Structures are given as structure tokens and as C-alpha cells.
A and B are shown apart, each in its own frame.
Chain A
Amino acid sequence: SQQGEEDPQALSIQEGENATMNCSYKTSINNLQWYRQNSGRGLVHLILIRSNEREKHSGRLRVTLDTSKKSSSLLITASRAADTASYFCATDAEDSNYQLIWGAGTKLIIKP
């Protein structure tokens, strides 16, 4: 069953603006990961945040996690055309220590 659900489903912004995507999940988790998928390509791991962490940074990426609301957000600052991609959150499955449960993704378009 689908665990993570991203919103919005699609987001179109101007280059240089910040992009925020959200992910909600249903069960308790140990960690949450964000991945990027360029059109027609495989997925690239961006960042992992553990359940005892509230915020994590990596370059222009900032991820927050609110376990009380069962939600996470991915912020991309100073967006670039190359950030155009689909972004997925994935959480560990409740009854497995290796399965990842994926959301349907947010399609981000950066307009030059």
C-alpha cells in the first residue's frame, strides 16, 4: 500500500525561486528519504532523515520532518533549470527493515 503521498502533484516555478514539496505518511517510521528522478532516468538519492531528526541540510536542499504530523518537506532554494525532475519520498515499511514505501511524486518544472 502507498505510504508516502507527496503534494503538490506538480509544481512550476521560475528559476531562482524556492520550491517546497511535502510528503505525508501513515505509519510510524524509522527514517524518510527523498529521491529525484529525471525524465526517463533512474532515481538519485538526495537525503535521508531519521525519525529523531527534525531538519537536515545538503547544499541547496533542506528537509524537515514532523513525526507528530507524519509529514516531511523538501525545500530547494535558488532553483535552477537542472532541478526540473520528479521528487519522491520513501519511508521504511512498518514490517520490514529494508523495504521502502514510495509516494507518487511531485513533478517540478523550473522555468528559465
Chain B
Amino acid sequence: NAGVMQNPRHLVRRRGQEARLRCSPMKGHSHVYWYRQLPEEGLKFMVYLQKENIIDESGMPKERFSAEFPKEGPSILRIQQVVRGDSAAYFCASSPLSGTSTDTQYFGPGTRLTVL
């Protein structure tokens, strides 16, 4: 059973370009969480999605950031018009159950975004 997969692992973009980060949850998992991690810091919650539904996007900046989890295919975190401050590691996690804080979240390896 493959774990959570994220691609690309490393992404370099110039200021103003778009970044698309993909996450395939573990098989059988229908809950996806996106986090951002700055160097030497913990993770910051961004968004929680179920298939075709955004449940909570309270941690996501209102502008330039969007996320989706379509019926088919991976979850996508999209950052438009990237700025240097968007440089970070973006982690995706998935869980199989109802989406409570007692559910173990299984993490992907992350995508390291560098904005030049």
C-alpha cells in the first residue's frame, strides 16, 4: 500500500509564476490536509478537504492560494503569482476516518517550493 505521494518534490518558480503542488492520499483515504512549514518552524494548517469539498480553508491566505480535491485524481494546492515569502515546504497528509484530531494523519514527503 503506497503511502501519501506528493509531486514534485522540489519546485522552483520565479516571482509572478504559478505553482501547482499535487498530493495523492493513501488508498482508501478520503480526507486530505495541507500544511506549510517554514525553516526551523512547525507546521501551519492551511486547508482540510474531502472529496469535492473544502471543509476548512481558514489557514489559507485569502488571495492567490486555492485548493481542490476532485472526485478523480490528486488534491491540488495552487499558488498564483508566487512571491518570495511563499518559499517553504508544503506537506500533505491524509486520514481514513471521519476527520477528527484523534485520527492519525499520514504525511507525504513534502514539496519544497523555492521562489527566485
Contacts and interface: CB of A to CB of B under 8 A. Distances in A.
Contacts of A98: 33, 48, 55-56, 99-101, 103
A44 B91 CA distance: 12
B43 A96 contact: no
Contact of B101 (A45, A88, A93): A93
Report which residue of A2, A35, A99 has the largest number of chain B beta carbons within 10 angstroms of its beta carbon.
A99
Contacts, number: 71
Interface in B30-59: 33, 35, 40-45, 48, 55-56, 59
Interface residues of B, number: 27
B106 interface: yes
Contacts of B4: 42
B25 interface: no
Tell me if B's interface is mostly helix, strand, loop or mixed: loop
B102 A102 contact: no
Contacts of B93: 42-43
Contact of B42 (A4, A30, A31): A4
A19 to B, nearest CB: 19
Interface of B: 4, 33, 35, 40-45, 48, 55-56, 59, 91, 93, 99-110
